[in-house]
Structure 1
Amino acid sequence: MKGEMMRSISKCQDGSSGSVILLATASALAIIALAAPASAQNRSAAANANEGEIIVTAQRREQRLSDVPLSVSAVTATDIARRGLVSQGDYLRSLPGVNQIEAGAANSSIIIRGVAASPQNTDRGAKATVGYYLNDIPLTGYVLRGGADVKLVDLERVEVIRGPQGTLFGSGSLGGTVRNIARAPNPERLEGHLRGTISQTGRAGSDNEAVEAVVNVPIIENKVALRAVGYLFENSGFVDNVAASTPAAVARANLYGIPELARNDKGVGRDRYIGGRIALLAKPTEDLKGTITYLRQDITQHGLPDAEPAIGKFRQARLGLSDNVGGGSERLEDVLKILNATLDYSFDWGALTSSSSLVKETYLEKREIGTFFANQPPVAQRNVADTEAFIQELRFASKFAGPFQLLTGLYYENIDRDFLNQNLFGGRTNLALSGFPSATITNNFEKNSVTQKAVFGEASLELSQFKLTVGARHFDYDDRTITTNRVSGAVTRLSGSNSGTTYKANMSWQPKQDLLLYGQFSQGFRLGSPVAPAIATCDRDGNGVIDGTTISAGPRTLDPDKLESFEAGAKFTTAGGALTVNAAAYHNKWKGVPINVIVPCGANVADNAGEARTQGIEFSAEARPARGLQLSFSAAYTDAELSKDAPRINGLKGDRLPGSPRYTAFLGVGYEFELGGRKSFVRADYSWIGGFFNNLKQTGIEAGDYSIIGARIGTRFGPLGVEAFVSNLTNSAKPTWVDSTFTGPIQRLYRLRPRTIGLTGQFSF
């Protein structure tokens, strides 16, 4: 196991990719050398902050969390450790105004403030509405649905910024932005840890294990350091495939001459995450710092972990895959590779940062989709997405002595993606019963290239207790797509381009250090994209409109959508930080909403559906009433609905947007103490998620409406630590999401992981 992990970590990018990064880095360094004085003193906000204060970079410069005039939550390294956080779902649902949809590994979508219309079908037509980052590296929009969930190993913090962030973070941050901030190499000390976890999941689950290792090595004291991270997470599945024990599935397999594909399988959805990160820091002077980081994460999931409620809470009756897609059971694989070079130069009146990133992600999904059709023929589907992206950002943040400050930058990205979708008949006999003329139902290949350029900036003026910030981002993009129908041989060339500007204005009033009031207008946007013509079976009467809809069957363009937000908020902190209270109210106007819909012919079609509005209230508080005792509470109300009729998708004004509960709440209690002279802690967390649906009409099975409780206790013996934990203490089996891609007679849904109990041991140095 360890050898396999180290082999994965040791893999590196090809030489040509590295040359691109190094060339961009060298160019940025030359700009820095020409633009800045040779010596300066870097005085960061972190250096001046009181001990225990949280420093964030939500506005692309270091600030105390309590001084940021935005609705921001920070999940610190201590929070990650004390709560045992590993994945997005472990913490996002505990934050006010945030929900997370997880349809298996590498298929997660984040919803903030109700801004979602097709949460399970992001990045194909209707793109993600929340920006997801590792440091300055965007990680959304690369594969079929959602994106890879980078594990929370050796992070400094996670920042969750609510509200549109179109000015500083660009396309995709309509609802907000989630940023994973990794720990930087430390040139001052040797440190690290080895952490291992074993646990057991109840019901249909079994054993789980995890190993993570971190080492930080100063190579040249105070100048050069290397930090390496490796991890392995193996999680049992908790859904049983009972196809061989289900008469309907056996009869279906026999009808099409494939009786051997009706078989049972325990623990469907078991997955393995194996990955690592290595970072080299060079700090030749106090003012100049460069970091090169490489990350790789491989995900393998055996089976898709959805249950069919008609046959049991944790059961499915899924036929195996035919030989024409490689045989075996349903499967998912995702490989993410990142190479980044960052340069920071600080001088008396500002700081210049260059971030150059190369991201490669490959996604493979094989699944059996025959139950989508009325006569349920065996159909094997194979989806492959292969993406390479280059991102370059260069920005300047001032440190002027006066009341005026400036942040400005340039942004460039190029994304090349190949996407293959195959639907193949999986039976041996009675082919005519399937209604398809040949074994190949569809075989479509898409080659897509998107180039985006942007210039952005924010200027602020601070007068006495007031601060005014205005910002804008201008972007333009070109989208080129070639689609090839490998059945008919038809080739379609599509192109689209557009440009636009988003704006922001923020006014804050800070009469004293522990009180901040603010009001803000901000905008967010998503890029549009060309849309290929519908397949012939979707327009059987040949009138140019998809049957049963008013959507054009020909090639067209999905327009960019834009969101405008009005927000007011307050932040209060008592002296010494014994009590912190944050509150915000907002109203969003969302225009040109693109929604993925399943049309009568079975195709997934994206269309600009119309207008929506989301509004709500968020509240969070943290108290430290006694030494070692920490109390956390948050709650949110979210009201998200169409604001106009959307006849193309049969939507009416007042229809609720899918994926967002009206109410959420969280309560956490932590206590640190000494037990026999040893540092110890106990922690308990309670989250409640209200009910929601996967469609505008609020029909079918309701997801959410569940409570989840977790607890953890631990103590240390010098460099050794041991912890015991339980998650989903009450063993709730409520659905977290109802599959929206399968609307046929057999419904699929995803449930909470059953009660899991485990032990963690750690050695630190």
Structure 2
Amino acid sequence: MFRSMLMATTAVSLSLMASQALAEAAKQTSDATVAEVVVTATRREERVLDVPYNISAVSGQAIDQAKVQSAAELLRTVPGVSVVDRGYRNQGVSNSIQIRGLNVDSAILGDYAISAVAPVSSYVNDTPLFANFALKDVDRVEILRGPQGTLYGSGSLGGTIRYILHAPELGEFGGKVSATASHVDGSGGVGWAGDGTINIPFGEKAALRITGSVQDYPGLTDYVNVYKLDAAGIPVAPSGVLSSAAVYETKKDADTVNIKYGRAALRVKPADWLDMTLSYARQSDDIGGRRQVTRGVDGYGRVYGKYENGSVQLEPSSREVSLTSLETTVDLGFATLTSSTSSYDHHGDSVSENTGYYAQNGWLGFYYNFPRPMASAVRTYSDRAFIEEIRLVSQTKGPIDYVVGGFYEKQKLGATQASYLRGFKRWWDAAYPAFKAEVQSDQDFAYDRHEDFTDKALFGELTYHVTDRLQVTGGVRWFDNQSKSHTFMDVPVYTSLSSPTNASFQKSDSKALYKANVSWKFGERGLAYATVSEGYRRGGANAVPTIGRYAEDARWQQYGPDRVVNYEAGLKGIRYGITYNAALFYVDWKDIQINTVTPNWGFFVAQNGGAARSQGLEAQIDGWLEGVHYSLGYTYTDAKLTENAYPPTGGTRPVALKGARLPGTAEHAVTFALDHSMTLSNGVMLTGRLNGYYQSATRNAVTTSTRLNVGLPPFQIWNASATATFDTWSATVFVKNIFNADGVTGRFTQSYMGTDPADGYYGNGAKDLITLPRTVGLTLDHPF
């Protein structure tokens, strides 16, 4: 009923707006003023059109009006950016954002903290942190393509995403409250969300801004063959522990979502030359399971339904992330001095179904094919850091501008995995009572990795204005990295195999990176530019053991940095009321870091292997046509390996082949959006929006393994909304994914994690990572 009413309301509203638009079209002109977005990507406030490289910006107002529900949905509107959509589960574990195709990792990596840092860096204000905070009270999101190490302390290979939150507003009281109800296709319930922001001034020199948000969604994925568990968390054995009989049950809408977010920011401006903001943000996620569906059949031959998952156990996750920062700006007259001091704590845990992986790798025989196998991987991750970044930005008018800065980061990373074959010890004791001491517990794998990382860097850019229209910029970043890594591993299930192993390793690296840029302003509002910039991603220590039972080859102990040289040329400007932006790029990528595992005992490691190049085109236009605002974007990305990638131990068998397309990024991607507003005779403003996204086929992985490297089909997603704005409140009806496309962005294949009834596994661990199905919702907003 709820969904039908909302879809009907949306259809009526959009139809009304279409007829009104036709009536008013003759009154509109095609040369309507184009909004000029101001960004701080270059550490100065300037229009996007004046920034001499390819940058996009999405305003917080646009995010709010479109009722964007996730970072994945947001980034699909930006040309040149792609993302693996894993849903809410474990959304803070690994950064799956890809810019210009720079990615070699499988799309299914996301359940555990990988070794290498992401090719794309992300910032929350001035703090380098991948947190996937809720998109609440956001001023704007800036997407910077290409390496940014000469402007930002935390370097990157492919680009940088900046989430810039609203600062408290001095001398102004106000705020907003909103409530949303929604229904997702496949769900048995209605989800809701509530948000609120209040800005409280204290005179003219201080203000406090507080934001809070709660999101509660019932889930849509049915776990249809979950073991019924006893009080000890072990599958029930109705006919006795030695029998193969089991009891299964169904958990409907298992992937429940509960997210709580809050932020408080205090801004003090005691004098015109001094501005300080102290803020604290915190978010907690509790997720009931995967928004990932199983295709095929279970061990009994039953075909899985549309939103069903074949796991034999539930797979919850939880996390907490907090960020404290102090941002200080001092106006020195000739320059602006900015200091950003911050610390964060990001940690989480999850349970993953691994029984299908055991079955497909023949490991269940290692446990004598005991009945009712349920392999659980209990994982944790942690990321804690203290960061200081200080910058000096010139203000005076003259032929030379400069930005210089220093960066310091002290980071502690952690990742653990405890794997269990639930009930194995109980079964062993009953089956082999004379050998009880041989099996110690259900735990068959223990892994613990810790890394201490210190980064010190100096960076800056110098711009010479040759004329009023021609300028040349040079940039440099020098850094010094120090890392220490320690790993513990054991296989404690069998007494004869248990051999606790520890390994430590440390390394350092320092280097200078460079950037050169030239830009020329032509006509009234046009800019042409060309850039060559270097990007760098730090190496690290894998710290695998080289002696003892679980020894690996010493060449796995560390991995080196990888580097890119980014070449870019572009045009941007406004012509006949149309804002345009187009860039050609070519990226040369060397010593690529590939996240993988060691061949003997499965240590999580990164390795260097091969080279790649990515080349293509990013283009976007934005304008008005008879009163309708439109935007259209297109991206062509040709990203391939240019040489074979081999394991660090050498050999003649490559892990990835020259010519293989890099995974996760489509060759062709198109974005499209329309919106139109009108005021009715009763003073009510009506606004309608339509946007679409298309991507061509992608690859799941780059390796030679046919169990991982499979093709993923193309898909398109269309969204629509209509907003009625009254004096003091507004109502928005929206439909996400109108045509209910699957939008598969990753796949656990049957040969990798499928069913295996011959070994007693009747579930199915294969699954597709799908985008959010059709969602219909209603939001009420009340600003004050």
TM-score of the superposition, structure 1-length normalised? 0.85
Measured in 1, the distance between the counterparts of 2:271 and 2:713 equals 53
| Pairwise CA distance, 1:309 | 1.1
Task: Report 1:19-38 matches (<5 A).
Answer: none
The count of aligned residue pairs is: 685
Q: Does 1:392 align with 2:377?
A: no
Q: Which moved more, 1:591-600 or 1:287-296?
A: 591-600
**Conserved in 1, the CA contact under 8 Å of 2:198 and 2:211?**
yes
Instruction: Give per-residue Cα distances to partners, 1:227-279, cap 9 Å, x unaligned.
Output: 00000112232211111599xx9999998879677331111222111111110
Instruction: Give per-residue Cα distances to partners, 1:373-427, cap 9 Å, x unaligned.
Output: 1355422111112332000000000012211011000000001133221112212
Q: Does 1:290 align with 2:276?
A: yes
**Conserved in 2, the CA contact under 8 Å of 1:294 and 1:337?**
yes
Match of 1:695 among 686, 691, 701: 701
Percent identity, aligned pairs only, is: 29
What SS does the corresponding residue of 2:64 show, helix, strand or coil?
helix
The equivalent of 1:738 in structure 2 is 747
Measured in 1, the distance between the counterparts of 2:310 and 2:622 equals 46
The equivalent of 2:53 in structure 1 is 70
Q: Decide whether aligned partners of structure 1 residues 261 and 497 sit closer, same or farther in structure 2, where only a CA change above 3 A counts.
A: farther
Q: Decide whether aligned partners of structure 1 residues 155 and 261 sit closer, same or farther in structure 2, where only a CA change above 3 A counts.
A: farther
Task: Report 1:522-541 matches (<5 A).
Answer: 522-533=533-544
**Conserved in 2, the CA contact under 8 Å of 1:538 and 1:553?**
no
Q: Decide whether aligned partners of structure 1 residues 470 and 438 sit closer, same or farther in structure 2, where only a CA change above 3 A counts.
A: same
Q: Decide whether aligned partners of structure 1 residues 697 and 496 sit closer, same or farther in structure 2, where only a CA change above 3 A counts.
A: closer
The equivalent of 1:150 in structure 2 is 133
TM-score of the superposition, structure 2-length normalised? 0.83
Measured in 2, the distance between the counterparts of 1:184 and 1:536 equals 54
What SS does the corresponding residue of 1:66 show, helix, strand or coil?
helix
Measured in 2, the distance between the counterparts of 1:166 and 1:157 equals 21
Match of 1:458 among 453, 457, 461: 461
| Pairwise CA distance, 1:285 | 1.0
| Pairwise CA distance, 1:737 | 1.9
| Pairwise CA distance, 1:138 | 1.0
Measured in 2, the distance between the counterparts of 1:564 and 1:296 equals 37
| Pairwise CA distance, 1:704 | 4.9
The equivalent of 1:271 in structure 2 is 257
Measured in 2, the distance between the counterparts of 1:113 and 1:587 equals 9
The equivalent of 1:712 in structure 2 is 721
Q: Decide whether aligned partners of structure 1 residues 616 and 633 sit closer, same or farther in structure 2, where only a CA change above 3 A counts.
A: same
| Pairwise CA distance, 1:489 | 3.0
The equivalent of 2:311 in structure 1 is 318
The equivalent of 2:529 in structure 1 is 518
Q: Which runs of 5+ in 1 are unaligned?
A: 1-49, 141-147, 321-328, 545-551
Task: Report 1:539-688 matches (<5 A).
Answer: 552=553, 556-574=557-575, 578-597=577-596, 603=602, 604-627=604-627, 629-648=628-647, 649-675=654-680, 676-688=682-694
Letter in 1 for 2:714: D
Measured in 1, the distance between the counterparts of 2:549 and 2:79 equals 42
Instruction: Give per-residue Cα distances to partners, 1:153-205, cap 9 Å, x unaligned.
Output: 11111101111212223545211111111111001211100000001111246
Q: Decide whether aligned partners of structure 1 residues 73 and 514 sit closer, same or farther in structure 2, where only a CA change above 3 A counts.
A: same
| Pairwise CA distance, 1:701 | 4.8
The equivalent of 2:124 in structure 1 is 134
Q: Does 1:418 align with 2:434?
A: no
Instruction: Give per-residue Cα distances to partners, 1:42-86, cap 9 Å, x unaligned.
Output: xxxxxxxx9942100111211111100111111012311221113
Task: Report 1:475-494 matches (<5 A).
Answer: 475-485=479-489, 487=492, 488-494=499-505
Letter in 2 for 1:116: N
Q: Does 1:360 align with 2:345?
A: yes
| Pairwise CA distance, 1:586 | 0.4
| Pairwise CA distance, 1:600 | 5.6
Instruction: Give per-residue Cα distances to partners, 1:481-529, cap 9 Å, x unaligned.
Output: 2222354332212111111111110100102341100000011111111
Q: Which has the larger radius of gyration?
A: 2
Measured in 2, the distance between the counterparts of 1:138 and 1:645 equals 33
Q: Decide whether aligned partners of structure 1 residues 436 and 239 sit closer, same or farther in structure 2, where only a CA change above 3 A counts.
A: farther
The equivalent of 2:370 in structure 1 is none
Measured in 2, the distance between the counterparts of 1:442 and 1:170 equals 38
Match of 1:114 among 97, 101, 125: 101
Instruction: Give per-residue Cα distances to partners, 1:677-711, cap 9 Å, x unaligned.
Output: 11220000011121111111585653351111100
Q: CA RMSD in A?
A: 2.8
Measured in 2, the distance between the counterparts of 1:741 and 1:159 equals 39
Q: Decide whether aligned partners of structure 1 residues 494 and 749 sit closer, same or farther in structure 2, where only a CA change above 3 A counts.
A: same
What SS does the corresponding residue of 1:371 show, helix, strand or coil?
helix
Measured in 2, the distance between the counterparts of 1:633 and 1:205 equals 36
Q: Decide whether aligned partners of structure 1 residues 444 and 458 sit closer, same or farther in structure 2, where only a CA change above 3 A counts.
A: same
Q: Does 1:440 align with 2:422?
A: no
What SS does the corresponding residue of 1:504 show, helix, strand or coil?
strand
Measured in 1, the distance between the counterparts of 2:660 and 2:749 equals 17
**Conserved in 2, the CA contact under 8 Å of 1:567 and 1:586?**
yes
Q: Which runs of 5+ in 2 are unaligned?
A: 1-32, 229-234, 297-303, 365-372, 433-437, 493-498, 648-653, 755-764
Measured in 1, the distance between the counterparts of 2:44 and 2:751 equals 44
